[in-house]
A = this chain, B = another copy of it.
Amino acid sequence: MPGQLLFSSSSKQGSSCFVTNRSVMVDKCVGKSVPRKEGWEKVTGAALYVDDIVKPDMLHGATIRSTISRGKIDRITFEGDIPWDEFVIVTADDIPGENSTKMFVGEQPVLAKERVNHPEEPIVLIAHADPYLVRKARTQVKISYIEETPCLSIEDSLNKAPVVWGEDNLFKTIRINKGDVDAAQSEAEIIVEGEYFTGASEQLYIENNGMIGEYDAEEGVTVTGSMQCPYYVHPALCAVFNLPKNKVRVIQSDTGGGFGGKEDYPTIIAAHACLLAMKAGKPVKLIYDREEDMVATTKRHPSRTIIRSGHKKDGTLVFMDVDFALDGGAYMTLSPVVLSRGSIHAAGPYRCPNVKILGRAVATNYPPHGAYRGFGNPQSFFALERHMEKAAKQCGLTADEFRRRNFFREGDLTATQQVVQDRVDMRELLDQALEAADYHNKRERFKKENEGNPVKKGMGIAAFFHGSGFTGGGEQKMASIAGVEGTKDGKVRVLAASTEIGQGAKTIFSQIVADALKLPYDMIEVARPDTDDVPNSGPTVASRTCMVVGKLIQTASLALKQSLVQEGGLDEDYTPEQFAQACKDYVARNGKLRRYSQYEQPANIVWSDETYVGDAYGAYGWAIYVAEVSFDTRTYEARVNDFVALQEVGKVIHPIMAEGQVQGGVAQGIGYALYENIVWKNGRMMNGQMTNYIMPTAADLPVIRVLFAEQPYASGPQGAKGVGELPIDGPAPAIINAIEDATGVSVNQIPATPEILMKEMEAAGVC
């Protein structure tokens, strides 16, 4: 029956199988776990990451960075036993165009000139043919400063103590208002208040950042490197070098992970490499080591959220008043959009007639915080789902019953007054997840077993949703373009700037095109993202690659086919061989055969950036995560023993990869909740090594059991919505809720390291 939720089941080994009564085309490629398109290259070592690429006569670069958090640059001296005359040295004065990364207000400099606003801010670039000499030389560039008082917390920033950006430290303020929270105060019979904190965290992609810059007076600037968004780098380089579009070329090399960490920062590294290359007249490679990558580039925004909610005695939400604040670091960069997503989702998947959300992103003197998978939502949902737990308790309800009473239903309006079109029943999802987790039986059993046992076990739930694609009018403004090409060899080549960063873009694109053209998967190729070759399909962010770009290449594929049928005489019931021959003939006759499709906003998506009223996203992914956690009252260590992740994502294009994305997201979420703690000193990360910044390893992780529901979305390819970010939103609150279930202690801060847990448990008199 259409409109009904369709379930898949998952075995204990974590593999997924699908049960669906939707009509399925035979021999479809989508929905099958085909081999990864770039898998062979990766496992054989044929894949070339940026550091594997060697250009003739290439130099090696390094970046000299601020050692202080805020102040004026006084003097730069080149010291030590270094042959400085052999070095290429670049400062802000060498920039031919704008000294700006071009992100939003464009205030972040490519190289600091007169002052610095955060530790590790780049000031001087050096390059030399000998990389070992470069490593030595970078320590011998000495910079003295006239220091100023930095601002190093959200609280201080809101209190303008001191003002370090603009007039009030506020990068962006968002106000979402639905109903009348003030008037609803009197209707509430129970008031629940809470304050919640999340720390910064590092994306920890496998491959560190790196770029190779080249410059030619004739050709202009070419950069090759690790990145998510070639078309973010491209306009920035045009501005930095004051060059027209066709004199700047950006090529993505094979990229080992991104998670948002390669969304904006690669623009700076690309500019640095190219500035060095221009001055040197030679190619320059600039590779960050792990520490530089960790301490200097962006991290997840720390947050502080204050929630006040009103309820009827039966738990029903009457109002929610959310004060959501993010620490943006020293420059605006992506903070307004991170804030936007986090604010829009801050009231969760709950029906509530009166909602007030105040979102603020503030300036501090940390290195700018930036994109990290989830993009504001992990912060929002940690606060909200911890708060819902608190509210359930105060209303005398169980965690599941409280949520069940408050979930969105058909036709309800979100905080932005969007009628959710996805026909997903959260109550049904909840029941399925709890059953898969054996939630009720386990809770009952743990209650008995915990008595007198130094290891306490508990169960925790998180319920959440995540908009796919850019927020509000973002996709409309971007108006992405993607295409396909019929090649002279009779193959079909996907043309998109969307990058393969380990998430499977090449594979799912190939699957979508194979189905659209009814061709075998191995007839499909994917062009390397190169701004000279592929159109701007938008950045590889925001859970948009599959849903938005996938749809575009599906549409372009049909246009390609039609050209061959209408103009190339291809029979409509072609075989793959006939299709290939028609491509070859067409290209021989007419030259290139490329067909494009451009994003156009579905007419029913309406949004106001002024009022924050409207359809914030075309579609959402929906999820219920359930964590089983044990807490050792002797060591204060928490450990996740079992994890059920159930999500509705429209259509699963590639089951194994989708499952992998969820498992990876949950693993990151476990790190976010319990392990990954950044030690700051004067705004600088002090534990920038993987030996002391602790991410969970396989030994720390439970089997992560993944379940999918599918409710196709009309504007996604074969119904697909986004799946990339959703899995990082829920683990942390589910885990901390489970700790509360195990111990009765309410922890409202992550990462909940043993040190934090010890403090909380001792304060509560539990251990």
Q: Which residues of A contact B (CB under 8 A)?
A: 1-3, 22-23, 410-411, 413, 417-419, 421, 423, 481, 483, 516, 535, 554-556, 558-559, 561-563, 565-567, 590-592, 594-598, 600, 602-608, 613-615, 618, 650-651, 711-720
Q: Which residues of B contact A22 (CB under 8 A)?
A: 606
Given A554-B600, A713-B604, is A594 in contact with B1 using a C-beta cutoff of 8 Å? no
Beta-carbon contact of B413 and A594 below 8 Å: no
6 residue pairs, one from A and one from B, having the closest CB atoms: A603-B719, A562-B596, A3-B419, A603-B712, A602-B714, A410-B411
Contact A613 B1 (CB under 8 A): yes
Q: How many copies does the complex hold?
A: 2
How far is it, in angstroms, between the C-alpha of A600 and the C-alpha of B421 when the chains are bound? 20
Cα(A592)–Cα(B590), bound, Å: 10
A591 near B590 with CB under 8 A, answer yes
B-chain residues with CB within 8 Å of residue A559 when the two chains form the complex = 555-556, 559, 595-598
- Docked Cα-Cα span, A572 to B297, in Å, equals 33
CB <8 Å contact, B2 and A606:
yes
A413 touches B3 (CB 8 A): yes
Chain B hits for A516, CB < 8 A: 600
Across-interface contacts of A410 in B (CB, < 8 A): 410-411
Partner of A483, one of B562, B613, B713: B562
B602/A481 in contact, CB under 8 A: no
- Distance from A202 Cβ to chain B, minimum over Cβ atoms (Å): 37
**Chain B residue nearest in CB terms to A473:** B23
Residues of B within 8 A of A558 (CB): 596-598, 600
User: Interface centre among A3, A561, A602, by most B CB within 10 Å?
Assistant: A3
Other-chain residue from B567, B597, B614, B711 in contact with A592 (beta carbon distance below 8 A): B567
A717: chain B residues within 8 A (beta carbon): 603
How far, in Å, is A715 (CB) from chain B's closest CB? 6
CB atoms of B714 and A600 under 8 A apart: no
Report Cα–Cα, A534/B727, bound state, in Å. 47
Complex interface: chain B residues within 8 A of A603 (CB): 650-651, 712-714, 716-720
Q: Which residues of B contact A715 (CB under 8 A)?
A: 602, 714-715
Say whether B594 contacts A563, CB under 8 Å: yes
**19 A-B contacts, Cβ less than 8 Å apart?**
A2-B418, A2-B613, A3-B417, A3-B418, A23-B606, A410-B411, A481-B562, A535-B562, A555-B555, A555-B597, A561-B598, A562-B597, A563-B594, A563-B595, A567-B594, A603-B712, A603-B714, A603-B718, A603-B720
Give the distance to chain B from A23, nearest Cβ to Cβ, in Å.
6
